[in-house]
Structure 1
Amino acid sequence: MRLLLTTDTHLPKRAKELPARLLAELPHADVVFHAGDWVDTDTLDLLEARCRRLVGVYGNNDGPALRARLPEVAYAELGGVRFGVVHETGPAQGREARCAARFPDLDVLVFGHSHIPWDTTAPGGLRLLNPGSPTDRRRQPHCTYMTATVADGLLTDVQLHRLTGPGPA
């Protein structure tokens, strides 16, 4: 099962549209995760129309229309791997222990907010993944998203993909 992970799209504030490369990946993913800060409902509509399965949450920049359609935390079990999705996890320092305590029954937590790619494993085995942002790199060298594979109860082949745009320099 092929996964695509994204977050912090911030459309149309940070970019006018999602990068073509990210859009081209959507049909190849069995499940797409979006960890919040969509900003507009058009992006949610687009992903719902183009994705086989979408697991998304709202973020701190998402207004009432998105909050009415999305949860604050989402859960999915895929191929024997227990996933959670949330926008904010707090400061980087202590993140692994804090998230492991908050989500003791998960194998993988997908999160956003910082726009900083993140891939660590907490004591006890919780894997934390932040795919960065495909449209707003902030102080990062590139806009990014992630892909991964789930097979036989394992998350494998986690890859961070760099984009060249759109997005502010």
Structure 2
Amino acid sequence: MSSPGTHVLLISDTHLPKRAKDLPAPLWEAVDAADLVVHAGDWVEPLALDALEARATRLLACWGNNDGAALRARLPEVARETVEGVRVAVVHETGGKERRGERMRAAHPDVDLLVFGHSHIPWDSTHEGLRLLNPGSPTDRRAQPDFTWMTLRLADGDVHDVVLHRLPPA
């Protein structure tokens, strides 16, 4: 019998309060519904981390290139956890998109799922068994048409039901 699994929310590049004063209401609803929230860096201010730590059931997170000493003191550069038999790593930057899968497989040989951010561009690919996911940004869409985040389910050693959620600009 298969496990119902762990419901996971992926976010990155929130840039609070620089790009927005708060996370969008639908994203807070997703935080409340998730068993695990994964944040791939670029918080900008500790207040965003404080808010997610207070509200999320569980949080797995790293710091990004826009995060100063206060955030770097509280978060690792690469966060790791095994969830439902899936070896998960979270890192902010992975470099350019060319040969990303190959580079990240070499850099993280013991990982099944790598969540990353930095580009603000949603990404979903697999390379030699490594699933790479970038949820984009819920607050700073840059050239993207919508603000984005992802949800998924981890169960029985695998990644299931990956959904890219889009929130059009107001």
Aligned to 1:38: 43
Aligned to 1:14: 19
Aligned to 1:108: 113
Aligned to 1:96: 101
2 CA distance for matches of 1:5 and 1:142? Answer: 16
Deviation at 1:133, TM superposition (A): 0.1
Equivalent pair of 2:145/2:168 in contact (CA under 8 Å): no
Aligned to 1:58: 63
Kindly report which structure 2 residues correspond to 1:118-133, keeping only aligned pairs within 5 A, or say none: 118-122=123-127, 124-133=128-137
2 CA distance for matches of 1:48 and 1:164? Answer: 26
SS of structure 2 residue aligned to 1:32 = strand
Equivalent pair of 1:56/1:85 in contact (CA under 8 Å): yes
Equivalent pair of 2:91/2:117 in contact (CA under 8 Å): yes
2 CA distance for matches of 1:108 and 1:153? Answer: 10
Aligned to 2:3: none
1 CA distance for matches of 2:122 and 2:32? Answer: 23
Segments ≥4 residues shifted beyond 6 Å: none
SS of structure 1 residue aligned to 2:150 = strand
Output one character per residue of 1:3-47: Cα deviation in whole Å (capped at 9) or x when no partner. Answer: 000000001111111000000111211110000000011100000
Q: TM-score, normalised by structure 1?
A: 0.96
Q: Quick one: percent identity of the two aligned structures?
A: 62
Aligned to 2:72: 67
Output one character per residue of 1:35-81: Cα deviation in whole Å (capped at 9) or x when no partner. Answer: 00000111000000001110000000000100000000000100000
1 CA distance for matches of 2:156 and 2:102? Answer: 27
Listed as ranges, the gaps of 5+ residues in structure 1 are none
Equivalent pair of 2:7/2:153 in contact (CA under 8 Å): yes
Aligned to 2:146: 142
Aligned to 1:156: 160
2 CA distance for matches of 1:5 and 1:79? Answer: 16
- Aligned-residue Cα RMSD (Å) equals 0.8
Deviation at 1:162, TM superposition (A): 0.1
Equivalent pair of 1:108/1:126 in contact (CA under 8 Å): yes
2 CA distance for matches of 1:121 and 1:89? Answer: 14
Deviation at 1:155, TM superposition (A): 0.7
